[in-house]
Amino acid sequence: MRSKLKCKNRKSESGMSLIELMIASVVLIFGMLSIMGLLMLAIGNNGRSKIDSGATMLTQVVLEQVSAKLAGGGPGSITDNSACGAGPGTTWVLNDQAGGANLSGGKIDFTQAQGPLLGSYAMNYVDCNNNITMTYDVRWNIQTLGVKSFLVTVGARPKNGLPTRFAFALPVTMRAYVGGNS
């Protein structure tokens, strides 16, 4: 009787069947592919955030330089990194006279051709990071509000040639009042 009991116990402890193993493999593969998809999405969002942050910081720098020049101080120029660290890049002198890029609803109108503005109220700022260049279209407008008071509007956006996942990056616009109540 004891021998029959030992045989029964061994059969109930046998390994997984081939069907159970295939189902477990499919579930594991599906889970790993899902995680890989999420990682790819996170990497894309990280790149887009980097581009948006670059445009925001560049807009702020140009706004501060133009404001400082209007207030009577500051160099009023910016040097980009178009040489990727192999020397000085392009130095852009910021015009501080009234005028500039067209505005649309208080924001810079990027549908206007950049050509006539380039060098006076627009620049193609090149940022280089790990030998990868990113060009930003930066434009500004200066409105005279009084004798020594101005409204400065600056906008920046990534220039064409972006990968599709970054193509919808919105332009960044900042505004500041400079001067007093004169």
Residue 88 covered by a domain: yes
Per-residue model confidence (pLDDT) at position 76: 80
Residue 36: per-residue pLDDT: 95
Does the structure show a pLDDT above 80 at 167?
Answer: no
Q: What is the pLDDT of residue 79?
A: 87
> Is 138 domain-assigned?
yes
What's the predicted TM-score (pTM) here? 0.74
Do the domain assignments include residue 2? no
| pLDDT > 90: percent of the chain | 32
Residue 175 within a domain:
yes
User: Is 6 within the bounds of a domain?
Assistant: no
- Asked if residue 161 belongs to a domain, the reply is yes
Q: Is the pLDDT of residue 7 over 80?
A: no
> For 14-50, what is each residue's pLDDT tens digit?
677 889 889 999 999 999 999 999 999 888 788 778 8
Determine, yes or no, domain membership for 64: yes
Q: Whole-number mean pLDDT of the chain?
A: 83
Per the document, the length of the chain is 182
Q: How many domains does the chain have?
A: 1
**Predicted confidence (pLDDT) per residue in 38-82, tens digit:** 999 888 788 778 888 888 999 999 999 998 888 888 788 888 888
Range of the domain at 23: 16-179
Rounded to 5 degrees, what angle do the CA atoms 149, 150, 154 make?
A: 155
What lies within 8 Å, CB to CB, of 162 at 6+ separation is 51, 169
Is residue 4 included in any domain, yes or no?
A: no
The pLDDT of residue 120 is 86
In DSSP notation, the chain reads: -HHHHHHHHHHHT----HHHHHHHHHHHHHHHHHHHHHHHHHHHHHHHHHHHHHHHHHHHHHHHHHHHHHTT-S--EEE--TTTTSS--PEEEPP-SSEES-EETTEE-TTS-STTTBTTTEEEEEEEETTEEEEEEEEEEEEE-SSSEEEEEEEEEEPS---GGGTTPPPEEEEEEEE---
Q: According to the model, what pLDDT value does residue 50 have?
A: 80
